[in-house]
Copies of this chain bind each other. A is one copy, B any other.
Amino acid sequence: MLKFKENRSFYAYAYDETLAANAYRIVKNEKESGEAGYYTLPSVSKVLIGQLQTYERENDFLENTETIVVIGIGGSSLGAKAVDSMLKHKKKSRRKLLFFENFDPLTVTQTIGQFNKENSLFICVSKSGGTIETISTFKTILHHFGIGLESEDTKRLMVITDKDSPLSRFAEMYGIKEFNLPLNVVGRFSVLSAVGIVPLYLAGYDVHALLDGAEAYETMFFEGKSKEILEKACFMFRNRDRYTMNVLFVYANALEDFAKWYVQLWAESLGKIDAKGEKVGLTPIGLTGSADQHSFLQLILEGPENKTVTFINIEDFENELSIPEMTLPYIEKTDFINGRSFGELINAQCNATMESIEEMKIPTDKITLPKLSEAHCGELIIYFEILTSLIGAMSEVNTYNQPGVELGKMILKEKFQE
C-alpha cells in the first residue's frame, strides 16, 4: 500500500468531525445513487479485460501492431499517459502508446511522422463524440494515410466514447470497433474506464493489477479506515482562503504526467460557482524534483504563505545507478554522496526539501510509492479522485461538470462563421 505522512501539527488540528462525516456521507451517496460512476470502475471495468482478450484473439493484425495511437484531449488522454509515463520503463510488450493530445500544426505534423499505418492501431477517444480537436485530427489521419472507411483498413480503427454519441453512431455505421465509458463517468475521472483501460491493456500493462490497487484503496476508504484523507480534505477546505494553492511536488520525471493529470482533476472539479453563488476552488500546481528545487522552491519558502505542498516519492526505484567513487580535484565538496545511488540522492533531496518547507511552518504531506507498479498507480489514482470528491462535497460544488468552458466553444464557432 501507499504510505502517507502528514505534518500532523497542521492536518490533525484541522479535522472537524461533522464536516468530515457530512462529506463522507455525500461521497457515499454519490457512489450508491450512481451520481458519480467512477467509484465502481475498479470492479466494473474488469469486464473489459475479457472483452479485450476476445478482441485480441479475433484480430490477427494486432500481432504486428507496434504503435497504439491515441487521439484524445484532456481527460481522454491525460490518465492513460500518466500511467504510461510512470510504468513504461518496466513494460515488456514492444507495443508503445503514442498520444495526439495537443493540436498545434507543428505538433500534429511531428507526431504524424512517428508511425506507419501498417503497424498501428488508431483509437479516437471523445466522451461527447464531437470534440473539435480530436475529430479534426482523426480526419487528418484518415486523409493522410488514405484510410478508407469502406475498406478493410477500418479494422485498424477504434473509438471510445459515450453510448449513442455522434462518434458512436459513426463507428456503428462503418463497423468500427467501439468501447463505451459509463455515462456517469466524466472525462477527468475516466482513467479506470475504457478510456484508460483499453489503450493500457493493448500496450501491455497489467490493468488487472491497476484496478485491484484502486479497489483496495477504495474499499479501505468506504470501510472508514482512512482517516488521513478526511483530515487532509478538512484542512484544504477550511483553509481555502489562506492556502489557495496546492503544490504537487513529484520526485521523478516518471511522475510528471501524473501531476498533469492531477492538475486537470483538481482544477476542473473544484473551480466552480458554489451553492451560494460564490466563485471557489483551489489552484493545483505540478512541480518535479529535484529540478524545481532550483526554480519554484524559493517562492514556496520565502513568498506569501498561500500554498500547501504535497510530495510524492518512490521508495525503491529498482535501479542501482550510483555516483562513482571519484574525486575531481577542486570539486571535492560534492564527494559526500560518492558511492550512493541516485535513488538515495533524490529521496534524500525530497526529505530535505520537505523539512526545509516545514521549518517555515508551511503545511506539507507526503505520499510514498513503495515502488512503481500498476497496483500502486491504481491506489494513487483513486486516492486523488476521492480526495477531490471530498473537497468538492465540502465546497458545495458540482464536482463533475465544467460549465465555464462552454462560452469559449461558442465564441470559437462564431469566429468561423463570420
Contact = CB atoms under 8 A, between A and B. Distances in A.
Interface string A292-307: 0111111111111111
Interface string A77-91: 010000000000100
A305 B273 CA distance: 11
* Across the A-B interface, the 6 shortest Cβ-Cβ residue pairs: A74-B294, A271-B299, A271-B303, A281-B303, A301-B404, A264-B295
A2 interface: no
A345 B304 contact: no
A158 interface: no
Interface in A284-316: 285, 288, 290-291, 293-307, 314
Given A321-B105, A331-B167, A416-B340, A356 B408 contact: yes
Nearest to A170: B330
A283 B345 CA distance: 28
Contact of A319 (B105, B136, B270): B105
A412 B352 contact: yes
B102 A415 contact: no
A179 to B, nearest CB: 17
Contact of A326 (B102, B139, B348, B352): B139
B411 A268 contact: no
A142 interface: yes
A251 B133 CA distance: 14
Contacts of A244: 244, 304, 306
A285 B285 contact: yes
Q: How large is the interface on A (under 10, 10 to 19, 20 to 34, 35 or more residues)?
A: 35 or more
B295 A268 contact: yes
Contact of A415 (B108, B173, B348): B348
B299 A356 contact: no
A383 interface: no
The quantity of this chain's copies bound in the complex is 2
Contacts of A105: 317, 319-321, 341-343, 346
Contact of A279 (B297, B302, B359): B302
A107 B252 contact: yes
B267 A279 contact: no
Nearest to A341: B105
A253 interface: yes
B135 A106 contact: no
Interface in A116-138: 129-130, 132-133, 135-136, 138
A330 B253 contact: no
Contacts of A140: 321, 323-324, 342
B326 A303 contact: no
Given A299-B267, A352-B411, A412-B349, A331 B290 contact: no
Contact of A408 (B299, B314, B352): B352
A364 to B, nearest CB: 13
Contact of A103 (B110, B345, B353): B345
A337 interface: yes
Contacts of A407: 301, 356, 359
A296 B245 CA distance: 13
Nearest to A141: B324
A380 to B, nearest CB: 17
A303 B355 contact: no
Contact of A283 (B135, B285, B336): B285
Nearest to A173: B329
A94 interface: no
Nearest to A414: B352
A415 B351 contact: yes
B293 A331 contact: no
A120 B203 CA distance: 33
Contacts of A319: 105-106, 109
A15 to B, nearest CB: 24
